[in-house]
Structure 1
């Protein structure tokens, strides 16, 4: 059963999908729900990410494991903003016209990795079809910044396809 609140949330996340009758948004069953995270580790991770004005796929994609991961000081950084230029039906990240790239973001990611004390960091991004290189240089700058500040940290990068699909 689709609820009014679900439809409102859907309209905010993916306006182009809001009126698709073939994809109703149903409430999840009670057994799949998780409690709101409250651990000290979660709060510390959240505060470091907020302090550095960073976006995580954990929050933007609505991951149900955010409490567990952040509680252990882990987070998947999502660079190049919180708005994707694609409207993939399987994804909960907002779709639309993103803001300009933040040239200070690579350094802030590196600082957050250091403050979180990460031995391994996962960096992903939204698709940026609005950029000539799809954001490849920004991703490279982020990797270099993390390596300079955290030489012992391994880096896993989940990159977009760089196809620059038209809107």
Structure 2
């Protein structure tokens, strides 16, 4: 029985090859766990408004840096996309719910509470809706501008 804690036994194909030690990555390239007050405030505002962000859905490694500054990319029309783009990490399938008519107002509320001068709003594709969600997107923009 191999001892799986020993690298050469865990990976027998490496037994006759030398290890290629990777140089240590510099500290600036390492992602730090988000713990700042700004991060927590942004997270709470987004949670309180029941909003979805690309930051979380796509697993962005920079979420701590952006959210600590009160920045977030809001994703409207749900968290399930009707397409399956190979480059994207958003969940794919049939959206479980109809569009939330209160979402535009919640996005506007979050933008106001975050004190944003500009905001990035994107969406999942909703091929299950006749206009693809264009009217919902327009309502969200109007709510934010108002």
Query: Which range, TM-score by smaller chain?
Result: 0.7 to 0.9
Is the counterpart of residue 64 in structure 1 residue 61 in structure 2? yes
* 1:121-160 per-position Cα deviation (integer Å, ceiling 9, x unaligned): 0100001110000000000000000011xxxxxxxxxxxx
Task: Identify unmatched segments of 5+ residues in structure 2.
Answer: 1-23
Normalising by structure 1, what TM-score? 0.69
Aligned residues: CA RMSD? 1.2
Aligned position for 2:18 = none
Larger radius of gyration: 2
Aligned position for 2:33 = 36
* 1:47-82 per-position Cα deviation (integer Å, ceiling 9, x unaligned): 000000000011111111110000000001100000
Size of the alignment, in residue pairs?
Answer: 119
Deviation at 1:33, TM superposition (A): 5.1
Task: Identify unmatched segments of 5+ residues in structure 1.
Answer: 1-29, 149-167
1:143 aligns with one of 108, 129, 141: 141
Aligned position for 1:96 = 93
Give distance in 2, aligned partners of 1:55 and 1:80: 9
Deviation at 1:35, TM superposition (A): 2.4
Is the counterpart of residue 55 in structure 1 residue 43 in structure 2? no
Aligned position for 2:4 = none
Is the counterpart of residue 109 in structure 1 residue 107 in structure 2? yes
Normalising by structure 2, what TM-score? 0.79
1:74 aligns with one of 54, 57, 71: 71
